[in-house]
Amino acid sequence: MHALGLAALAAPALAQTPPANLLVNGGFEVLAATPPTTCGNNYTVPPWPAGGYPISPWVMTSGNSTNLVAVDGNVTCNYGNSGPATDAEGTPAGTRQHYLDLLADGVVYQGFTVAACPGSTVPRTAQYSGAFSGRDGGAAGTGTIQIVQGTGVGGAVMASQSATGASYQGWTTLSGTVALAPGDYSYVSTFTNPTNFDNAVVSLTPCPAVPPAPVAVPANAPWALLLAALGVGWLARRRFSRG
């Protein structure tokens, strides 16, 4: 068999698509109609409403104000020791990125839905993660991620992780897995005043492949095939004898 035949038999490489993030604006890069132009802090500058910079669909349930921090790796924007020079998403220096600070101890949450796999109601495995950093030259802050039942911050806690002492020079990423039955849940991030938050992700393991439905074979199919073969043979012999 030649090389082309071998190549044709080889299974095509499947592109590895990362699981979708069920959270929207998990990295705080969805900017308002009037985007921030200021390096560093962005909170009480009009026309943004009271409560700080919009971070929809995140909901802030406590904390004085949201503060969308803009950084670019110290290329044109030097935030000093107020927080990391880059956000938690690892973009190259020179790219303007953002992370979230709250002007006080605070809590933000976002709801998400775990869909059932086809024909199944068993729990699915969710991966969740998020990153915290310190502020103002210190490492005194604490950040906590919780996955809770329902929409809001008061539901039963399904999973929880905390980080204390995150540096202002980099990010501490928390991650874990949790089994979640189909339904509504919330990702809740709680962090103290000298702490920043970024890069929140919730994703689900893919549903198992559904085997194809078996093809019904008529009971008389073997006889039909045999008769067709006999017919072809008879025609061939007849043409040969005439030739």
Q: Indicate the residue among 99 and 187 with the shorter CB distance to Ca ion.
A: 99
Residue 228 backbone dihedrals phi, psi, to 5 degrees = -65, -40
Q: Indicate the residue among 100 and 126 with the shorter CB distance to Ca ion.
A: 100
Residue 82 backbone dihedrals phi, psi, to 5 degrees = -70, -20
Exposed (0-12), middle (13-18) or buried (19+): which is 187, by Cβ within 10 Å?
A: buried
Residues that bind Ca ion (CB under 5 A): 27-28, 87, 97, 99, 198
Nearest to 25 by CA among 203, 198, 194: 198
- Confirm if 178 and 148 have CB atoms less than 8 A apart: no
Q: Minimum distance from CB of 37 to Ca ion (Å)?
A: 17
Q: Minimum distance from CB of 100 to Ca ion (Å)?
A: 8
Q: Indicate the residue among 97 and 192 with the shorter CB distance to Ca ion.
A: 97
Helix or strand (DSSP H, E) at 233: helix 221-242
Q: Minimum distance from CB of 71 to Ca ion (Å)?
A: 9
Q: Indicate the residue among 97 and 190 with the shorter CB distance to Ca ion.
A: 97
Q: Minimum distance from CB of 33 to Ca ion (Å)?
A: 19
Q: Minimum distance from CB of 21 to Ca ion (Å)?
A: 13
Q: Indicate the residue among 97 and 144 with the shorter CB distance to Ca ion.
A: 97
CB burial of 91-129 (b: ≥16 within 10 Å; e: otherwise) equals beeeebbbbbbbeebbbbbbbbebeebeeeeeebebebb
Using the structure block, give the residue that is written with the tokens 């072809």: 232
